[in-house]
Chains A and B, each alone.
Chain A
């Protein structure tokens, strides 16, 4: 059974700061997913990656397969980035999720 750990659990930052959320997993996987959940509950997939680095706008996700570690970075953070960010590991047989990072960006 894969174990997925995220840190930090809670993060409050000022607008414009560079944000990093970390994720580690215990067992080799097909892919690592980063998800975003806003208050009100909807879950949106941000990235799925199995190697290297992906970038979408101000969001960057990296993964180190050998170290079983991934990071999600937010550059030039904005209050609209406030949400819960969840990493998840797995493949076609379903995902194992971290408990999420609750991010608040203050103006």
Chain B
């Protein structure tokens, strides 16, 4: 199994509070991703990173920010959590090949509830 951990694994918070989720990898992969999974919508891309300090937005980036100061860590921050951000959050990593894509390995997920 790829070495990916997410913390915390479960969190309950209140509307308006800031929340930071952490993804940590031991594989030294260049690419890291944050997805959210919701019933009826499936998995959707929030943000991704293609290197230290290099990030870009995904399909559902509003209300989220990310940072990557080290290869191994990718942080997702909800500046002011809302109930619509209640979801399961998955981190994934990938080492892109010359063909432009490679297998993505997923972390165990973080279940976030915003009351």
B41 neighbours in A (Cβ, 8 Å):
99
Query: Shortest Cβ distance from A93 into chain B, in angstroms?
Result: 7
Q: Is B104 within 8 A of A97, CB to CB?
A: no
Interface size class of A (residues with CB under 8 A): 20 to 34
Q: How many residues of B contact A (CB 8 A)?
A: 28
Q: Is A97 within 8 A of B108, CB to CB?
A: no
**Known contacts being A42-B106, A43-B106, A45-B103, is A92 close to B42, with CB within 8 Å?**
no
Q: Is A48 within 8 A of B102, CB to CB?
A: yes
Q: Is A93 within 8 A of B56, CB to CB?
A: yes
B12 at the interface (CB under 8 A from A): no
Q: Is B58 within 8 A of A30, CB to CB?
A: no
Q: Is A33 within 8 A of B104, CB to CB?
A: yes
- B residues near A (Cβ < 8 Å) are 31, 33, 35, 40-45, 48, 50, 56, 58-59, 88, 90, 94, 96, 99-106, 108-109
Rank and list the top 4 A-B pairs by shortest CB-CB distance, nearest first: A30-B101, A31-B101, A94-B45, A43-B106
Query: How far does the alpha carbon of A64 sit from the alpha carbon of B58 in the complex, in Å?
Result: 27
B43 neighbours in A (Cβ, 8 Å):
86, 88, 95, 97
A26-44 contacts to B, CB under 8 A, are 30-31, 33, 35, 41-44
B45 neighbours in A (Cβ, 8 Å):
94-96
A86 neighbours in B (Cβ, 8 Å):
42-43
Query: How far does the alpha carbon of A53 sit from the alpha carbon of B42 in the complex, in Å?
Result: 26
- Nearest-CB residue, chain A, relative to B45: A94
Find B109's partner among A42, A44, A99 (CB 8 Å cutoff): A42
- Nearest-CB residue, chain B, relative to A6: B42
Q: Is A91 within 8 A of B109, CB to CB?
A: no
Find B42's partner among A1, A44, A50, A99 (CB 8 Å cutoff): A99
Query: Quick one: which of B41, B42, B109 has the most chain A CB within 10 A?
Result: B42
A50 neighbours in B (Cβ, 8 Å):
99, 101
Query: How far does the alpha carbon of A99 sit from the alpha carbon of B31 in the complex, in Å?
Result: 24
A31 neighbours in B (Cβ, 8 Å):
99-102
Query: How far does the alpha carbon of A37 sit from the alpha carbon of B59 in the complex, in Å?
Result: 22
Find B48's partner among A30, A35, A93, A100 (CB 8 Å cutoff): A93
